A and B are shown apart, each in its own frame.
Chain A
Amino acid sequence: MHIIDIVAMDKNISLNHGSGGKLTHQLISDVFLKYFHNETLDQLTDAALLHIPESRIAFTTDSFVVDPIFFPGGNIGKLAVCGTVNDLAVSGARPLYLSASFIIEEGLSMETLDTIAKSMAEEAHAAGVKIVTGDTKVVAHGQCDKVFINTAGIGVVSGPHEKIATGMNVKPGDKIIINGDIADHGMAILCERENLKFKTDIQSDCACLNSLIDSVLETEPGAVKFMRDATRGGLATVLCELAGERKVGVELDEESLPISEPVLGVCDLLGFDPLYIANEGKVVLVVDGDRSEKVLNQMRKHPLGKNSNIIGEVVDDHNGMVLLHTDVGGSRIVDMLAGDQLPRIC
């Protein structure tokens, strides 16, 4: 092997990095252990051995194939941590451990992978979770697009929060709250991807929501009846699921929906309805009507909840259906997204 080949190989992922041999070990120690290291992962056992407090366990998994892998406000690694942490947190769980599996296209630069792993470690650290196990596969050029990541996560649910995931206590009179501007993530990806002839400063809202959610659950125990993060399909889809699953009516007030001017502008221009655009750092909460103001105040104190607002309520009418009162005083039904979602936004 010529010296040039060795240098080139060092800068890019090759099929050999997935062989299980020397290069795989080198990749694991040079990139993944460097950033993710903790006492469990450092053992390099086939399965992570974990201590989990006695309680109900929440367990979830998600795969990330976002295109492009770097976008304003984040990258595929940050997204992979936030997505799984948020799925646990909105289920009322305290996220503890993550796995991280990488499917890498040969030729990806080592520097790119390094940047992705670094931001995963930073995000996990900030969210107080540990990446305790993982896997790396390398596929030939063209067999995947740059890098795909799967993360699974485990969290613990304490007794009072067990019913949040199903929303079984949701009832008419409950208020609906969101923690800030909608549609940022989907529009940031779209603007980055579609080669639009204008510039925007729209940033993805990609963030771990567990600390915000913790603060609400701790200060207002029992007030939260249901939570879900409004990812693919956007806010509309979460509310349609709520109305359909719990057989309640939902009324949404367009005027109180937080949305930034640039996002509204791009949506107007390209004909997108922001209600259906993906978010990666937005949680929809259904809270006891009498305590909604207290929950709202608490949320607004948190950096990820400054723009929180009460956006609607659960009603004992038109069960299974979401009704939107429009800005101009009209009303219309909001239905599940069918068809035209943007592919590969997360």
Chain B
Amino acid sequence: MKAMEVFDAFRDRRTVENLAGEIRKISKKSIVLMEVCGGHTMAIQKYGLPALLPETVTLKSGPGCPVCVTSQSYINRAIAYCRLDDVILTTYGDLIRVPGSSSSLEKERARGRDVRIVYSSLDALQIAKEHPDKKVVFLGVGFETTAPTTAATIIRADADKISNFFVYSAHKVMPPVMGKLVDEGVKINGYIAPGHVSTITGSGIYKDIAGKYGLGCVVSGFEPVDILNSVLMLVKQFEAGEPKVEIEYTRAVLPEGNKKAQQLLYEVFEHRDDWWRGLDVIPKSGLGIRDKYASFDAEKKIEVEVEETKENPGCICGEILKGLKNPRQCKLFARGCDPSNPVGACMVSHEGACHAYYRYSSHG
């Protein structure tokens, strides 16, 4: 399969082979690296990269998929919103199949509720403009990557004086969870740090991970050459005993990040404690809407009765997200939980560890 020209260099077979060879040559001590970005999880599986790595190098998937870490109570509340007759619920596609306590947005849509998939929060705002008699609720999900666009949309709605557009925020930030995992005793030796998040935040946010926790952090791109190059950089750091923050994804990421996007983000959002699936509440890890923009905050402006949270006891999404177990160690994996009938969120999202494992590796 021929790749698009712009990616040719980053998907070049010889470069990949050279990098894999270099990793094999240098890696002496066993090293466990965790990726905390769903895009990396997908790329690693899609390109079959584990087959190229020596036995000393293990790759683990962490809580990098925003859909996967979203709590069931959030889904239940979204379902409650869409059941209101005067609400149009708008969401990114992955979220609609995540099971709540007794339903999902997909099932609600089949029952005639107005649930619409959008590719951008601005599309949701447009729907609000076209339906002034309805309340349009947008499910704001994602890390520092998507939060600035949600912020920009709220600012636009404010400027255009739109009063029927609301955001239900589950936006989160990445650094607190990376520290929390280590505090919880997850055994890793370095992070393949998220590329898109870092485009916004810069690489500076990982200083503590390297300094306080002694773990290497390499901000990686999403092509096979990027990922193997990042692995090589982390292996070199580890062998030399010099953990530090480095950027492999230099064509997109600056140490200071995208100042304008950061400004937008914090104009609208502020840090708050937030609940992560499998990790409970992590201080200052979520993004809530500031009081200044409270009129766009669905939580504050639209009252609903929300169903009680009921998690499936067999589902080990939490431990999978922490990297303590891999999907194949879940007794539901491929036996009652698969992408067409997902039990846990990790099986729903394309970026979920279970989904990626199900799709790209053996589960016979």
Q: How many chain-B residues does the 8 Å CB contact rule pick out?
A: 36
Q: Tell me if A317 counts as interface (CB < 8 A to partner B).
A: no
Given contacts A254-B1, A335-B359, A340-B350, contact A330 B339 (CB under 8 A): no
Q: Tell me if A10 counts as interface (CB < 8 A to partner B).
A: no
Q: Report the bound CA distance from A254 to B350 in whole Å.
A: 21
Which residue in chain A gives the minimum CB-CB distance to B120? Answer: A197
Q: Tell me if A110 counts as interface (CB < 8 A to partner B).
A: no
Q: How far does the Cβ of A60 sit from chain B's closest Cβ, in whole Å?
A: 26
Main secondary structure of the interface of A (DSSP, over half): loop
Q: Report the bound CA distance from A328 to B3 in whole Å.
A: 11
Q: Among the listed B3, B361, B362, which residue makes an inter-chain contact with A327, where contact means beta carbons less than 8 Å apart?
A: B3
Which of A126-134, A159-167, A221-229, A261-269 lies at the interface? Answer: A261-269
Q: Tell me if A255 counts as interface (CB < 8 A to partner B).
A: yes
Given contacts A271-B350, A328-B16, A333-B361, contact A265 B4 (CB under 8 A): yes
Chain A residues lying within 8 Å of B1, measured Cβ to Cβ, are 254-255, 257, 259, 264, 274, 327
Chain B residues lying within 8 Å of A346, measured Cβ to Cβ, are none
Given contacts A264-B2, A332-B360, contact A339 B339 (CB under 8 A): yes
Q: How many chain-A residues does the 8 Å CB contact rule pick out?
A: 30
Chain A residues lying within 8 Å of B2, measured Cβ to Cβ, are 259, 261, 264
Q: Are B13 and A328 in contact (CB under 8 A)?
A: yes
Given contacts A273-B46, A321-B362, A340-B339, contact A329 B4 (CB under 8 A): no
Q: Report the bound CA distance from A67 to B16 in whole Å.
A: 41
**Residue interface bits A270-294, CB-to-B below 8 A is 1, else 0:** 0101100000000000000000000
**Residue interface bits B304-328, CB-to-A below 8 A is 1, else 0:** 0000000000000000000000000
Q: Tell me if A338 counts as interface (CB < 8 A to partner B).
A: yes
Chain A residues lying within 8 Å of B47, measured Cβ to Cβ, are 326-328, 330, 332
**Chain B positions near chain A (C-beta within 8 angstroms):** 1-4, 7, 11-13, 16-17, 20, 42, 45-52, 97, 119, 224-225, 338-340, 342, 350, 358-364
Contacts beyond the supplied A271-B42, A330-B52, A333-B362: 10 A-B pairs with Cβ under 8 Å: A259-B2, A264-B2, A324-B48, A327-B11, A328-B52, A328-B225, A332-B45, A335-B358, A338-B338, A339-B97
**Chain A positions near chain B (C-beta within 8 angstroms):** 194, 196-197, 254-255, 257, 259, 261, 264-265, 268, 271, 273-274, 320-321, 324-333, 335, 338-340
